[in-house]
Amino acid sequence: MESHYVQFFTATILKWKPIFFNQLYRTIILDSLNFLVEAKRMKVYGFVIMPNHIHIIWQVQEGHKLKNVQRDFMKYTSQQIQKDLRTNHPDLHHEFEVNLKDRKYQLWQRNPLSIDLYGRNVIEQKLEYIHNNPVQGKWMLSNEPASYPYSSACYYERDENRFPFLTHYMEYFGH
C-alpha cells in the first residue's frame, strides 16, 4: 500500500496569466478541492489562490496514487475553466492555444511543483509562506493574511472555517 507524506503543491497558469481574478475560476478550484476531500482522495491542510497560481498543502489518502489525484485535479479544473473561457472570453482563451500533439489548448504550466514535507516545522513554514503570499510582493491583495478570502489563513489565525474541506494540520500528528 502506498503511503503519502503531506505535500506542498504549486501549480501556475500558463504564461503566468492572472485569470484567478475571475470569481468563477476561484470557485472551480475550491469546488474541486471540496470534491477530492469528500471523495476521501485527499486531505487539505492549507491553500491560497493567487491571481496566476495556487499553493496547496495536501495529503493523498490511502488507496489513491498521488499522480492520479494531481492529474485529475489539474485536468478537471483546466476543462472547467477553459469551457468558460471559450464561451465568455474567447480572446483570452486564444492566448492558451499551444497546438501540441496531445492538446490544442493548455491552461496550467506543465510539471507543477510537488514536494514532500517532513515534520511539523516544515509544514508550519510552508503554511506561513502561502498565507503571507497575498500580502507581499507585487500583489498586495490584502493588508493581513487572515483578511484574504481565498486562503486558509483565517482558519488558522481566527479559527474561522469558511472552507468545509480543510483539516487542521495538527491532525496529521495525531492532535
Please tell me the pTM assigned to this model: 0.95
What is the per-residue pLDDT for 137?
81
76: confidence class by pLDDT, cuts 50, 70, 90:
very high
As a whole number, mean pLDDT of residues 19-29 equals 97
Instruction: Return the closest-CA partner of residue 96 out of 114, 113, 81.
Output: 81
Look up residue 14 and give its amino acid: L
Please compute Rg for the chain using Cα positions. Answer: 16
pLDDT band at 164, cuts 50/70/90?
very high
Check residue 138 and give its pLDDT.
85
Check residues 28 and 102 and name the one with the higher pLDDT: 28
